[in-house]
Amino acid sequence: MLPKKLFYLTILLLLIFNVGCASKKNFVYFQDQKTIQTKSKFELKLAKGDLLNIQVFGCDEESIKIFNLPSTTSQSSNRGYFIGASVPQGYLINNEGEIDFPVIGKIKLEGISLEDAVEIIKTKLSIYLKEPKVNIQIQNFKVCVLGDVKNPGTIQVPNEKITLLEAIGIAGDLNITAIRKNIIVLRDEGSTKKEYRIDLTNKDFIDSPIYYLHQNDVVYVEANQAKINSSNVSGSSSIIVAIASLIITTVNILTK
């Protein structure tokens, strides 16, 4: 049997080692060695609440004026615009999934791609214009990253395409205390909100429907228990006192 002094010293060293060291598998992304050929496909569908900038082009500038909204000056930054910046007005997809377009009237756009929306509007405009050209952009495409990242907040996406990794990168990456194996993505799918859970240490998530984020997705990064405990002052103090007591007790035993 080990002498008592050596036994207590061994226990102390093990406790310090467990507290001070963390496993690599809890922090490193893409740990598996396999190579993934992703099948993920970016498919953007228009949804209720999307604010669309629709621009019409044609040979006769006078004829197309009625179909283009004038630029206006925003006096608010509520939608992410700078105060005083010149921004185009938009067409909001309402609760019926429609926009109200000049002359044409109601157009159903919910659930279709931008490409299909362009073709629908071009077809309707061809009654009034010769060879019309249409450009559509979602003005309020955004995702939100919350939780244990360096810079949580809402990200405005100008090109309507962003991956989960890009969003995390823009948010400053995960803190060392973040749980990488349980990233939560909340997504509106029709009238319901669906929850996805992603393990960033496994490459398989690259082939998931969450690899490309959709407009209004919310990414939540959970902090590990150590950080949660450290946020509690009394809890942290108790741990410090306990460790200090253990060290003092061990030193007393070893010096007797």
Q: What is the pLDDT of residues 85-117, one digit of tens each?
A: 444 579 999 999 999 999 999 999 999 999 999
**Per-residue model confidence (pLDDT) at position 154:** 92
pLDDT at 122 over 90: yes
Q: 73-99 burial, b if ≥16 CB within 10 A, otherwise e? A: ebeeeeeebeeeeeeeebbbbeeebbb
With a pLDDT cut of 90, the percent of the chain lying above it is: 48
**Per-residue model confidence (pLDDT) at position 232:** 59
- Stretch among 22-31, 75-84, 128-137, 175-184 having the lowest mean pLDDT: 75-84
- Stretch among 157-166, 197-206, 236-245 having the lowest mean pLDDT: 236-245
**Per-residue model confidence (pLDDT) at position 159:** 87
- Average confidence (pLDDT) over 78-88: 44
| Superfamily grouping for domain 51-138 | wza like domain (3.30.1950.10)
With a pLDDT cut of 70, the percent of the chain lying above it is: 66
Distances (CA, A) of 15 to 1, 10, 22, 91, 252: 21, 9, 13, 62, 18
Q: 126-158 burial, b if ≥16 CB within 10 A, otherwise e? A: eeebeebebebbbbbbbbbbebbbeeeeebebe
Q: 169-199 burial, b if ≥16 CB within 10 A, otherwise e? A: ebbeebeebbbbeebbbebbeeeeeeebebb
Chosen CATH of 141-223 out of 3.10.560.10, 3.30.300.20, 2.60.120.10, 3.40.630.40:
3.10.560.10
Measured between its terminal Cα atoms, the distance across the chain in Å is 19
Arithmetic mean of pLDDT over the chain = 79
- Stretch among 17-21, 39-43, 60-64 having the lowest mean pLDDT: 17-21
At 84, the pLDDT band (50, 70, 90 cuts) reads very low
pLDDT at 15 over 50: yes
Sequence spans of domains, the chain? 51-138, 141-223, 226-256
Model pTM score: 0.68
Strands (E), 172-217: 183-189, 192-198
- The CB density around residue 164, as the number of other CB atoms within 10 Å, is 23
At 21, the pLDDT band (50, 70, 90 cuts) reads very low
**Per-residue model confidence (pLDDT) at position 77:** 41
Distances (CA, A) of 109 to 97, 99, 119, 225, 248: 6, 7, 11, 45, 71
List, for residues 126-156, the tens digit of each pLDDT value: 999 988 999 999 998 999 999 999 999 999 9
Structure tokens of 194? 């669906």
